[in-house]
A and B are shown apart, each in its own frame.
Chain A
Amino acid sequence: MTAPKSSFLKRMRSQKQLMLMSLPMLLYVFLFSYYPLWGWTQAFQNFKPALSFSQQEWVGLKQFRFLFRDDTFLLVLRNTIAMSFINLVLGFVTAIVFAILLNEIKTRLYKRAIQTISYLPHFLSWIIVTGLVANALSVDGGIINVVLMKLGFIHEPIMWLSKPHYFWGIVGASHVWKEIGWNTIIYLAAITSIDPSLYEAAEIDGANRYRKMLNITLPGIKSIVIILVIMNLGWIMDAGFEVQYFLGNGVVVDWSQTIDIFVLKYGIQIGNYSLATAAGIFKTVVSVALIFAANTTAKRFGEDRLI
């Protein structure tokens, strides 16, 4: 029984430089990722910033009860998951399609130019992007309305931003516009790692372009896609904050408000930090559960997994 232990110690000792080197990282993780978890205790208190820990009033699950009894929070939850899901699916589909199409372009210069142009919006901040979006959708000479009217699809400008049911679509489209080029990069990299002889063999067998895309390129990047899906599922409770905050308004609030905005309004802005913490804990728990679920599913299908 002692044998494995001593061999563990032995291995530790033989790798002591490695151990020492990883120490700062461990400290870092502890300091910034685990130590703050202490703050979770706030969720079970009526937290007042000025009081010390022992002076705080403990209220049990009151904050959680408020969250789940509140109609708004349920709407907010729906919005968050829906918008996140839309962004996830749209993001993946468009990026993969775009990457495959880009890959088919043979002129290097042309390909480079398209790629650069498509990922530039990624570097704009959301405040700028939402400004552009709001301008484009404006009733007052916004380009979308102008184009649609010139083409004869509509007779009167549509107030895009005050129609609740358009909101998710607008957010999804803005995300695609901003991130498509950036998301493509990783798939392009994955595609380059596919063995060229596969394509040559397929060609000899008489496969056309679409066959090759379908049977070689797509399977070639499958594992990358799955890893990315698993990783991104962890963020499903983060549908974003800026887009919804800047584009949203009173009229569309039932469809635009996300958890983060709710927390800002009912937590930070009115000084109810406990509520904010409770919502944060809820988000984390759901995210972790989702990651594990996705991971198990991937395992079942015999694919590469994250953990």
Chain B
Amino acid sequence: MGVITRKRLWGSLSLGIALSLALAGCGNNNNSSNNSSKSNTAANQGTTDQAAGTANTDSGSNATASDDLKPITISAFIGSPNQQPTADNRIYKKMQDELGVKLNMEFLVGDLQQKLGVMIAGGEYPDLITADPKLVTAKAVVPLEDLIDKYGPHLKEHYANYWNQMKDSSDGHIYWLPNYGAYTGDFLATNYSGPAFWIQKDVLKDAGFPTPKTLDDYFKLISDYAAKHPKTVDGQPTIGFTTLAYDWRTFPLTNAPEHLSGHANDGGVVVDNGVASVFATQDIAKTYYKKLNDIYNQGLMDKEAFVQNYDQYIAKVSTGRVLGMFDQHWNFQDGENELISQNKIGETYVGFPLTYDGVTDHYLDRPVLNLNNGFGISKDAKDPVRIIKFLDALMTEDWQKTLSWGEKGVDYEVDANGKFTRTQKERDEQNDPTWKLANKADAFYGYAPKMEGTFTDGNATSAGTQPDEFYASLKPQDKEILDAYKHKTWTEFFTPAPENPVAYPAWNIDLIDGSDASVANKQMTDATLKYLPQAIMAKTEKFDTVWDQYVNAYKKINVKAYEDRINSQIQWRTQNWSSN
């Protein structure tokens, strides 16, 4: 007996000791790895930038010859929800075969800001990381300019015209490779993915293809149609107008006034003569929300508009019940794609640039570099050189064609004039989400640097912007609409964009984490989400009372801190970017 208990005791004891040792070991390991990574970044950021760069060069060039195709796995965090591509995905496999790079992608689940906040608090990052100013503040990413200079000739060329803009305003380093907005060749726009007042094609057809110019025109179309068709073909009640104010996607509710008043999309501010001001409580806003209040009281506005989350919104759009909304096209594209896949083309949307009387619309803008977007390389990346080389290799025209158009003869054809086209079967495949998971690298390509405009052979960089291919890919119902308005593309509904001011747009200005400006921004969003729905859903005679409460709530917020930050950045950009 005694012996046995003793043995058991020692057994459990040694187990306990092992456990405590293991725990202690973990602690130590963590510390040391943290320390070493810290010292690495310190070296990179310190005054010896150049030295550190050359040190990298040496080890890099030694490795180049033999190691270039040595298989490597690069972890990447993609800042949007996506489905994992299939294991034998054709394009990712090609990357692995030809470039020796296997991508290990993690997609966003839940809220991006929260995820990044947690990542920063934990201090561990994947190799490639979705751009966010937060990460620069946290010193989680490495400066890229030396790496690009030495190892990224194609990237350097791609961004040549935008080099100054890419520099971070706080320290002049480049941390991000913007994914959209760097154009080469001709700029072709066929589809419109920006903001507009959207209306279902059936509504237009029913009314004989009118062109609504004002809010009154627009809502009259909707109310007439809703009166005639209280239910959809599937028997669900139609919804006249909806909006969305969920999480960071509050622009469907908040951005309309700036467009109605003829301003370009600057986010929460309107910029007049280079001076930004918050418009949320100005008259341009009040007029619009008063109108929505009328619409609500007429029963045309979605009752659940302010309660719904993004998924519910998309689900609602995809049933075809919603006759109209103000939104950016890309924001509800998923819902529309669902309609297209069910061939409910009449229930998809056309955007119109509504304005207040006597104002020229400025919905369509010239593409700008999408700052604070795309990929950066984290301080934890083991081989930044290899990663830059990988991204650089993808910047070659061949790879760009593969990523965008696909493979020649499989995903697209080349006609006698050297123009890329697709057969009907190939077009259908491009619209099939399941097929895309196995045959496209969209999740990665979306955040990677990419060519836009035209290739050197004159072909558009994507099928959607190849004019002939675009028109050919349209459904008969779409051709009917465009023909009725005597347009060739969806962008022709809008006034052509004037030249952008240098500092445009203000919405991508970094407010700096934890600053007064960012606190004010949060408080403004909170106030907007609290009072605007109340105002819109109020009885007509109560509207003004709620509006006054809203204005008072804004008075308590340090709006000036926010405006000052925006204005100082506009000035900074005007000075530093114009010397391009």
Given A46-B514, A249-B307, A271-B138, A27:B23 Cβ within 8 A: yes
Closest residue of chain B to A161 (Cβ to Cβ) is B307
Given A49-B138, A138-B304, A272:B245 Cβ within 8 A: no
Give the chain B neighbours of A271 by CB distance below 8 A: 117, 120, 134, 137-138, 513-514, 518
Q: Is the CB of A272 within 8 A of B519?
A: yes
Q: Is the CB of A27 within 8 A of B24?
A: yes
| Segment at the B interface, from A98-106, A193-201, A260-268 | A260-268
Q: Does B291 contact A (CB under 8 A)?
A: no
| Interface residues in A126-167 (C-beta closer than 8 Å to B) | 134, 138-140, 159, 161-162
Q: Is the CB of B118 within 8 A of A162?
A: no
A254 CA / B533 CA spacing, docked (Å): 13
Q: Is the CB of B23 within 8 A of A28?
A: yes
Q: Is the CB of A269 within 8 A of B114?
A: yes
Chain B interface: which size bin?
35 or more
Q: Is the CB of B514 within 8 A of A272?
A: yes
Chain A interface: which size bin?
35 or more
Closest residue of chain B to A52 (Cβ to Cβ) is B38
Q: Determine which of A24, A138, A139, A268 lies in contact with B20 in the assembled complex, contact meaning CB atoms within 8 Å.
A: A24
Question: 1/0 per residue B93-131: CB within 8 Å of A?
Answer: 000000000000000000101100110110100000000
Q: Is the CB of B113 within 8 A of A269?
A: yes
Q: Determine which of B20, B23, B114, B526 lies in contact with A253 in the assembled complex, contact meaning CB atoms within 8 Å.
A: B526
Q: Is the CB of B118 within 8 A of A268?
A: yes
Give the chain A neighbours of B534 by CB distance below 8 A: 251
A52 CA / B134 CA spacing, docked (Å): 18
Given A17-B9, A270-B514, A271-B134, A250:B117 Cβ within 8 A: no
Q: Does B529 contact A (CB under 8 A)?
A: yes
Give the chain B neighbours of A27 by CB distance below 8 A: 20, 23-24
Q: Does A48 contact B (CB under 8 A)?
A: yes
| Segment at the A interface, from B11-19, B183-191, B208-216, B277-285 | B11-19
Specify the main secondary structure of chain B where it touches its partner: helix
Q: Is the CB of A270 within 8 A of B518?
A: yes
Q: Determine which of B118, B139, B246 lies in contact with A50 in the assembled complex, contact meaning CB atoms within 8 Å.
A: B139
Question: 1/0 per residue B243-264: CB within 8 Å of A?
Answer: 0011000000000000000000
A274 CA / B514 CA spacing, docked (Å): 9
Question: 1/0 per residue B509-539: CB within 8 Å of A?
Answer: 0000110001101110010111011100100
Given A27-B20, A138-B304, A269-B113, A162:B537 Cβ within 8 A: yes
Give the chain A neighbours of B530 by CB distance below 8 A: 250-251, 253-254
Give the chain B neighbours of A275 by CB distance below 8 A: 514
Given A20-B13, A21-B16, A31-B27, A159:B304 Cβ within 8 A: yes
Q: Is the CB of B522 within 8 A of A266?
A: yes
Give the one of A161, A264, A270 with max B CB within 10 A: A270
Closest residue of chain A to B136 (Cβ to Cβ) is A50
What distance in Å separates the Cβ of B243 from its nearest Cβ neighbour in chain A? 12
Q: Is the CB of B121 within 8 A of A273?
A: yes
| Interface residues in B436-486 (C-beta closer than 8 Å to A) | none
Q: Is the CB of A264 within 8 A of B114?
A: yes
A140 CA / B534 CA spacing, docked (Å): 20
Q: Determine which of A23, A49, A249, A265 lies in contact with B123 in the assembled complex, contact meaning CB atoms within 8 Å.
A: A49
| Interface residues in B222-258 (C-beta closer than 8 Å to A) | 245-246
Closest residue of chain A to B511 (Cβ to Cβ) is A270
Q: Does A72 contact B (CB under 8 A)?
A: yes
| Interface residues in A88-112 (C-beta closer than 8 Å to B) | none
Q: Is the CB of B307 within 8 A of A251?
A: yes
Closest residue of chain B to A272 (Cβ to Cβ) is B514
A161 CA / B312 CA spacing, docked (Å): 15
Q: Is the CB of A21 within 8 A of B12?
A: yes
Q: Determine which of B17, B27, B522 lies in contact with A24 in the assembled complex, contact meaning CB atoms within 8 Å.
A: B17
Give the chain A neighbours of B366 by CB distance below 8 A: none
Give the chain B neighbours of A270 by CB distance below 8 A: 113, 513-514, 518-519, 521-522
Q: Does B493 contact A (CB under 8 A)?
A: no
Q: Does B303 contact A (CB under 8 A)?
A: yes
Q: Is the CB of A24 within 8 A of B16?
A: yes
Q: Does B310 contact A (CB under 8 A)?
A: no
What distance in Å separates the Cβ of B173 from its nearest Cβ neighbour in chain A? 14
Give the chain A neighbours of B134 by CB distance below 8 A: 271
Give the chain B neighbours of A268 by CB distance below 8 A: 113-114, 117-118, 121
A83 CA / B556 CA spacing, docked (Å): 27
Q: Does B306 contact A (CB under 8 A)?
A: yes
Q: Is the CB of B13 within 8 A of A21?
A: yes
Q: Is the CB of A72 within 8 A of B526?
A: yes
Closest residue of chain A to B17 (Cβ to Cβ) is A24
Give the chain B neighbours of A28 by CB distance below 8 A: 20, 23
Question: 1/0 per residue A52-75: CB within 8 Å of B?
Answer: 100000000000000000011000
| Interface residues in B1-44 (C-beta closer than 8 Å to A) | 9, 12-13, 16-17, 19-20, 23-24, 27, 38
Give the chain B neighbours of A46 by CB distance below 8 A: 514
Give the chain B neighbours of A52 by CB distance below 8 A: 38
Q: Is the CB of A140 within 8 A of B118?
A: no
Closest residue of chain A to B113 (Cβ to Cβ) is A269
A265 CA / B248 CA spacing, docked (Å): 11
What distance in Å separates the Cβ of A31 from its nearest Cβ neighbour in chain B? 6
A270 CA / B517 CA spacing, docked (Å): 10
Q: Is the CB of B304 within 8 A of A140?
A: yes
Closest residue of chain B to A39 (Cβ to Cβ) is B121
Closest residue of chain A to B248 (Cβ to Cβ) is A269
A50 CA / B114 CA spacing, docked (Å): 18
Give the chain B neighbours of A48 by CB distance below 8 A: 137-138
A275 CA / B307 CA spacing, docked (Å): 29
Closest residue of chain A to B245 (Cβ to Cβ) is A250
A50 CA / B38 CA spacing, docked (Å): 9
A46 CA / B23 CA spacing, docked (Å): 31
Q: Determine which of B16, B27, B117, B513 lies in contact with A20 in the assembled complex, contact meaning CB atoms within 8 Å.
A: B16
Give the chain B neighbours of A274 by CB distance below 8 A: 514
Q: Is the CB of A50 within 8 A of B245?
A: no
A271 CA / B513 CA spacing, docked (Å): 5
Known: A162-B537, A250-B533. 18 other contacts (CB 8 A): A24-B20, A49-B137, A49-B140, A50-B140, A71-B556, A134-B307, A161-B307, A250-B245, A251-B537, A265-B522, A268-B114, A269-B113, A270-B113, A270-B513, A270-B518, A271-B137, A271-B514, A272-B514
Which A residues are closer than 8 A to B by beta carbons? 17, 20-21, 23-24, 27-28, 31, 46, 48-50, 52, 71-72, 134, 138-140, 159, 161-162, 249-251, 253-254, 264-266, 268-275
- Going nearest first, the 10 A-B pairs with the smallest beta carbon separation are A271-B513, A250-B529, A50-B139, A268-B117, A272-B514, A24-B20, A24-B16, A269-B113, A49-B138, A270-B518
24 of the cross-chain contacts (CB-CB < 8 Å) are A20-B13, A23-B20, A24-B17, A28-B23, A49-B120, A49-B121, A49-B123, A49-B137, A50-B137, A72-B523, A138-B304, A159-B303, A159-B307, A162-B533, A249-B307, A250-B306, A250-B528, A250-B529, A251-B537, A269-B522, A271-B134, A271-B138, A272-B513, A272-B514
